[in-house]
Structure 1
Amino acid sequence: MLETVKDRIMEVYDSLSAGRDPRLKGYLLMESPFSMSAILLAYLFFALYAGPKFMANRKPFQLKEAMIIYNLSLVGLSAYIVYEFLMSGWATGYTWKCDPCDYSDSPQALRMARVAWLFLFSKFIELMDTVFFVLRKKHSQITFLHIFHHSFMPWTWWWGVSYAPGGMGSFHAMVNSCVHVIMYSYYGLSAAGPRFQKFLWWKKYMTAIQLTQFVLVSLHVTQWYFMKTCDYQVPLFIHLIWMYGTFFFVLFSNFWYQAYVKGRRLPKNSSKELAHNGKANGSAGVSNGSSAVSNGHGRHVNGLSNGKKHHENGSTLNSKMKKA
């Protein structure tokens, strides 16, 4: 019985492997799904258990310089990925409608396959987002949305790159990289310290940009459902991308509602913490802090004034008693 099940599993695995793009088998992490799955499982174990346990009795690490370098490096990498996607097809021949994947060995097709893999690899680099949160004990930032997005995205894109590195299925990767140029620019400037907070007034628009991303992705693949014919080779990815765009639109909409309508998830950091917090809204914190100091000053002045009045009243009363 066990042998039969094992044989059946191996048949399915061999069938899946046979359909993969042979041009990518020499790339890092592309030999089999096991290495990338192991990395993602280790990531989940660290983010949800090992990391918080390790930091339980330790002070948060101050990683300002590392975060600046990390975030600005991802800005450069994301910008390069956008450029390569454009030069590989989206600005040099794609119709932005039904664009099939080119499996040939032409320079253009190989360039598209390479940037598709590079986009996938960038998703594994971005797992460091969570590592920084854990080491800095920013546990409130490690939400279901954060964990799901960072683990689900690279796992699904591994299969996408393996079977269709290009074509209309790569549109959402290019859009996502555009968003990351903006997002990691914000994080890099924020990590640089309070003196840059005045340039980060657009924090709350980050979520709006991400929501726009999911709308564009869903609208683009929705075209497929209204086309009479389309020779894109892996229609399953169209369905998955549409579900991905819709599902994450709902999750990010909920984040927007909770953070900016109800105000439940807005960070409340002191100005000292802002110097080390790469992803906090410093302007709001400084403003609130200034208001608190101002109110405290007002209470201090009122206290002195009232005390002075009580003292004057007491002196007057004693004087009258002596005269009597």
Structure 2
Amino acid sequence: MLREAITSVTKFYSNLISRTDARVKDYPLMQSPIQMTSILVAYIFFSVYVGPRMMANRKPFGLNRAMITYNLCMVSLNAYIVYEFMMSGWATTFTWRCDLIDPSTSPQALRMVRVAWLFYFSKFIELLDTVFFVLRKKQSQITFLHVFHHSFMPWSWWWGVTLTPAGGMGSFHAMVNAAVHVIMYTYYGLSAAGPRFQKYLWWKKHMTAIQLTQFVLISVHISQYYVMEECYYQFPLWIHLIWMYGFFFFLLFSNFWVQAYIKGNRLPAVDHKPNQNGSTSEHVTIVANGKHHENGHAQHYANGKIVMGKVKKI
């Protein structure tokens, strides 16, 4: 029984590798799913276990300059990705309806292959978001939603880039996601720049609304497939997965919106306590969606046991 299972897995793996698109075989992290899966498993282990314990008895690092540089670089990178997706078809030859996978080696197809891989690779760069949270002792922002989103995106995109790098209508969600990230990292950069820029961050609560809009656009666009009379998309499985992706993340972010802005469960809580000299100190605890909220400058106390998405005092 075990031997048969191992044989079946080995055959599946060999078949998958043999079907890797020749146009993307030589790109980094595309030779095997083992490489990228190992990186993502290490990322989860660091985010949930190693990082919090490493920082438990250390002071948070002041990384404002590094974060400003990082966020500005991510704004530029994602803006470039959006531009390349547009020039690869979305602003030139695509109909925005039933756009098929292009298996050719035309200049436009190869351009789409490059930007599809670049989008995939950018998801590994984004893992630094969590590293900054850990080093700054913002463990409360590393929620299940944050870790799942950061690990699931690059893992799922490896399969798409491996088999269909010039994915036609299946690449729309990547372009939209990159556009949203331009807005998000602009916000993060301004936030990290210091108090003098806080007046420009009045649209903080609209970040989740922007995310929800993203998933609505993705779901509506991909849903066209189900009502078209004829659409011979070569990998309909991708259509189903993208629709489920949009719907699933819409539910997750809707739940966050309700918790944060309707019930107020995740908004900053201020506890005023008098000191011995009669002055008042503020204890501010931020419990936020670790990805789609401010990189904050509010105080965060982690003098207790750190658990997933919250700090438990002991």
The two structures have a TM-score, normalised by structure 2, of 0.85
- Deviation per CA, 1:174-227: give whole Å up to 9, x if none: 000000000000000000000000011011111100000000000011000111
**Matched residue type, 1:171:** F
Q: Deviations over 1:107-158 (max 9, x none)?
A: 1100000000000000000011111111111111011110110001110011
Q: Match of 1:103?
A: 103
Equivalent residue, structure 2, for 1:248: 249
Give the C-alpha shift of residue 9 in structure 1.
1.5
Q: Which has the higher contact order (CA 8 A, sep 6+)?
A: 2
> Higher helix share goes to which structure?
1
- Supply the distance in 2 between the matched residues of 1:234 and 1:159 (Cα, whole angstroms): 12
Seen in structure 2, the aligned counterparts of structure 1 residues 184 and 271 have a Cα distance that, compared at 3 Å, is farther
Pair 1:50-2:50 in alignment: yes
The residue type equivalent to 1:227 in the other structure is M
Contact 1:267 1:281 in 2 (8 A): no
Matching of residues 126-165 of structure 1 within 5 Å: 126-165=126-165
What residue is the counterpart of 1:264 in the other structure? 265
| Residue equivalent to 2:81 | 81
Identity among equivalent positions (%) equals: 68
Q: Give SS of 1:233's match.
A: coil
CA 1:80–1:271 in structure 2 vs 1: closer, same or farther (change >3 Å)? farther
Report what 1:167 is aligned to.
Answer: 168
8 Å Cα contact 1:267/1:280 also seen in 2: no
- State the secondary structure of the residue aligned to 2:86: helix
Report how far residue 265 of structure 1 moved: 1.0
Give the corresponding residue for 2:189.
Answer: 188
Work out whether residues 268 and 284 of structure 2, in 8 Å CA contact, stay in contact via their aligned partners in 1.
no
1:272 and 1:64, CA in 2 relative to 1: closer, same or farther beyond 3 A? farther
8 A Cα contact 1:81 1:118, kept in partner: yes
Structure 2 counterpart of 1:204: 205
Contact preservation (8 Å) 1:81, 1:119? yes
Q: Report the TM-score, using the length of structure 1 for normalisation.
A: 0.83
Q: Is the 8 A contact 2:204 2:294 kept in 1?
A: no
* 8 Å contact kept, 1:171–1:217: yes
Structure 1 or 2, whichever has the larger Rg, is 1
Distance 2:173 2:75 in 1: 18
Amino acid in the other structure paired with 1:219: V
Q: CA deviation at 1:18?
A: 2.4
Letter in 2 for 1:152: F
User: Quick one: which amino acid aligns to residue 191 of structure 1?
Assistant: A
Q: Unaligned 5+ residue runs, structure 1? A: 286-324
Equivalent position of 1:290 in the other structure: none
